Amino acid sequence: MDFIVTATGKFEGDVNVPGDKSVSHRAIMLAAVASGTSRIAGLLYSEDVLATMRAFRQMGVELDELTDGLLTVKGVGSGGLKAPRTDIDLGNSGTALRLLTGLLAGQNVEATLTGDESLRKRPMQRIVEPLLQMGAQVTVGRSGVPPVHIRKSRRLQGIHYRMPVASAQVKSAILLAGMYAHGETCVDEPLVTRDHTEHMMATFGYPYRHEGFRICLAGGGRLQGTTIDVPGDLSSAAFFIVGATICRGSRVSIQGVGINPTRSGVLTILEQMGARIEIGNRRHAGNEPVADIVVRYAPLKGIEISPELVSLAIDEFPIIAIAAACADGHTVVRGAEELRHKESDRIFAMVGGLEAIGIEVEERDDGMVISGGLVKGGRVNSYGDHRIAMAFCMAALRSAQPIVVQDCDNIATSFPDFLACAQNAGLDVRQV
């Protein structure tokens, strides 16, 4: 499925973004292995999250979708998961793959995790290595990629692991396994990464200790079923925030968006570039901070993005790159090696896409240098990456000619209603 997108000179209105994907995955996972029933409101029913739901149904967990969008999960408690009869297909979801590997490593079940062609290219060795140190029986395919085979093992042993590269998914996999390990498990981060897993553990009553860049928990604790409100997804909101910022005369309002400080680097980066972003009505949904966001057009300037901010905005760099393309001057991104291990090699994909629409960009091993200029239009290969596809749709708001974005099917993995939301805001985007 390809999109053709044309500038309209208008981008405004109230936008409702879907529930946070990262929070949705974690809510389902912990609810499934908790004791008692959990109720989850605001869940993102995207392809990625539906894959996580199917996975737990394969392992004997009862999940009921109610008419008001509420999901009830009848937890099976520690050790209650059943071995699936067939391989678990996680589609395109790297979050589900990596977090489930950690969770299942301590569950004393046998399972094989796989996915689509893109997922089967995602590196898993960074997850497997610490789990093996804990005593897990986990193997992967050739070159360290899926499928992931998990076998029964004796009780895991807690470890003190220093992560060589900042990654919330690696950290989360270790902590999830650590709940079922003997003794204490600690993870040292080189930089702060998103802490949704820790917040979700606390929501289910599982204690942890946070000391600077170190997170620790003791194995053998108990998760108790609870009620969860999933905030709006900041990663999804970011496309509309940048869209409003780069389109003259625009004003967009987005309600109930999660603004977790370990996740909101995109807002800091855009504000440093000159974006006009108003954040109001701050509140909490569960353990996650939430606010309403209003964005207006503003001229942007290129900046050098610090590595500390990279880990706080890792999923938003495709759309940040579009903001940089529309800015005055150069934007430098460094310390972003993690982008090469997403649904696509996002450094390579963004560089190719920016060049295709007339923007000068220099690719580097750990990032890129983007020179703001005239967006001319053209044909962009999204490499089946939902965030690359949505980012280049927004680039059309400043394009002299239409932009054709190829291979957009996977947008539904995170934002099923993106097309309708974008059209309602004034973007001329059509499927071709």
Given 207, 229, 251, the domain boundary residue is: 229
- Confidence (pLDDT) at 181: 97
Residues 6+ apart with CB under 8 A from 63: 28, 32, 53, 56, 57, 71, 72, 73, 74
Overall number of domains in the chain: 2
* 224 & 237 share domain: no
323 shares its domain with 293: yes
Residue 153 and residue 214 in one domain: yes
Predicted pLDDT at 311: 86
Instruction: Answer with the one of 229, 262, 292 that is the final residue of a domain.
Output: 229
Q: Quick one: 37 and 158 in the same domain? A: yes
**Pair 117, 156 in one domain:** yes
Beta strands in 90-223 (DSSP E): 111-114, 137-140, 148-151, 156-157, 160-162, 181-182, 184-188, 209-211, 214-218
Catalytic one of 116, 195, 233, 315 = 315
* Residues 9 and 33 occupy one common structural domain: no
Same domain for 255 and 170, yes or no, is no
Distances (CA, A) of 4 to 244, 364, 431: 19, 29, 6
What element of type H or E holds 241? Answer: helix 234-246
187 and 130 in a common domain? yes
Supply the pLDDT for residue 308: 85
- How far is CA 247 from each of CA 53, 223, 383, 406, 417, rounded to the nearest angstrom? 38, 47, 26, 23, 21
Q: What is the span of the domain harbouring residue 47? A: 21-229
CA 427 to mean position of chain CA atoms = 24
* Preceding amide of 147 cis, omega within 30: yes
Q: Which amino acid is at 351?
A: V
Q: Is residue 406 domain-shared with residue 308, that is, in the same domain?
A: yes
- Check residue 142 and give its pLDDT: 80
Inter-residue contact 258 to 290 (CB < 8 Å) = yes
pLDDT tens series, the chain, 432 aa:
999 999 888 899 999 999 999 999 999 999 999 999 999 999 999 999 999 999 999 999 999 998 777 999 999 999 999 999 999 999 999 999 999 999 999 988 999 999 999 899 999 999 999 999 999 999 998 889 999 999 998 889 999 999 998 899 999 999 999 999 999 999 999 988 999 999 999 999 999 999 989 999 999 999 999 999 999 999 999 999 999 999 999 999 999 999 999 999 999 999 999 999 999 999 998 789 999 999 999 999 999 999 889 989 999 999 999 999 999 999 999 999 989 988 899 999 999 999 999 999 999 999 999 999 999 999 999 999 999 999 999 999 999 999 999 999 989 888 999 999 999 999 999 988
**pLDDT at residue number 153:** 84
Based on the fold, state whether residues 34 and 140 are members of the same structural domain: yes
Final residue before a domain boundary, out of 176, 202, 229 = 229
Task: Identify whether residues 98 and 186 lie together within a single domain.
Answer: yes
Cα gap 96→136, rounded to integer Å: 18
Active site residue 315: yes
How far apart CA 430 and CA 426 sit, in angstroms, is 12
**Residues 188, 322 share a domain:** no
